[in-house]
Amino acid sequence: MNLPPPTPQPPRQQRPQTEPIGPTTPTVTSVPVASGSTGPLKVIGNILWLLLAGLWMAIAYVVAGIIMCITIIGIPFGIQSFKLAGYALWPFGRMVLQRVDRDPALSCLGNGLWFVLAGLWLAIGHLITGLLLCITIIGIPFGIASFKLAGLALAPFGKTVVKAGAPLPPDTTVYLIV
C-alpha cells in the first residue's frame, strides 16, 4: 500500500519575548474543591430531609452505635456509626470521599464486619425509606438520596465526609454527592 508523502507544515512564527511592564501578579495554582449544593436550597433540602427521613435514620445509626460500643472491639464501629448519624441527619451540602491515606486491607476487614453487624440492616432501612419517599413526586429526590446513603451504609470504612466547597486532598476520589 503506497501512501502519499506527508505534506510539509508551514513554519510557526515565534512571538517576540517581551518583558512585562509594571508589577506582575503571581500565578495562583488552582486547588480542587468539593463540588455540591450550596446556598439556601441546601438548607431547605436539609430541613425537609430531617423531617421526612433524616431524624429516623440518624436515630437508627445512633442506636447501632450504642450497641456496638458495648464491647471494646466494637468501639471503632460505634464511632463510625455516630459519624454516619450526623451525615444521615444533614446530608445536603456535604459529600463523601474515598480516603487516600486508608489501609485497603483494614478497610476491607472493617467493611466486612460492619456489613454483618449493622450495615445490612441500616441499608435495608435506607431502601425502605427511599421507597416510601418515592411515592410522592416531591419525595423522589429524597428517595434517591436515601438510595445513595444505602450504598454508604453497606461499606463506610475508608471514606470521609467533607463540606461542599472544601479543598480536596490530592488524589481524592469522590464517592458520593447527595
- Residue 169 clears pLDDT 60, i.e. is over it: yes
Q: Which residues of 162-177 are buried (b: 16+ CB within 10 A; e: fewer)?
A: bebeeebeeebeebbb
Q: Dihedral of CA 110/112/116/120: which sign? A: positive
- The confidence score (pLDDT) of residue 39 equals 72
- The confidence score (pLDDT) of residue 18 equals 54
Q: What's the CA gap between 52 and 142, in Å, rounded?
A: 8
* Length of the chain (residues): 178
The model's confidence at residue 26, banded by pLDDT at 50, 70 and 90, is very low
Distance of CA 105 to the CA centre of its chain: 21
Instruction: Sketch the domain layout of the chain as residue ranges.
Output: 40-177
- Residue 83 clears pLDDT 70, i.e. is over it: yes
- The confidence score (pLDDT) of residue 132 equals 95
Tens digits of per-residue pLDDT, 108-166? 898 899 999 899 999 999 999 999 999 999 899 999 989 989 999 998 888 888 887 77
Q: What's the CA gap between 143 and 129, in Å, rounded?
A: 7
Tens digits of per-residue pLDDT, 142-155? 999 899 899 999 98
- Residue 28 clears pLDDT 50, i.e. is over it: no
The model's confidence at residue 25, banded by pLDDT at 50, 70 and 90, is very low
Q: What's the CA gap between 12 and 125, in Å, rounded?
A: 65
- Mean of per-residue pLDDT scores for the chain: 80
Q: Which helix (H) or strand (E) holds 113?
A: helix 104-114
**Mean pLDDT of all residues in 73-101:** 88
Instruction: State the residue for C-alpha cell 454527592.
Output: 177
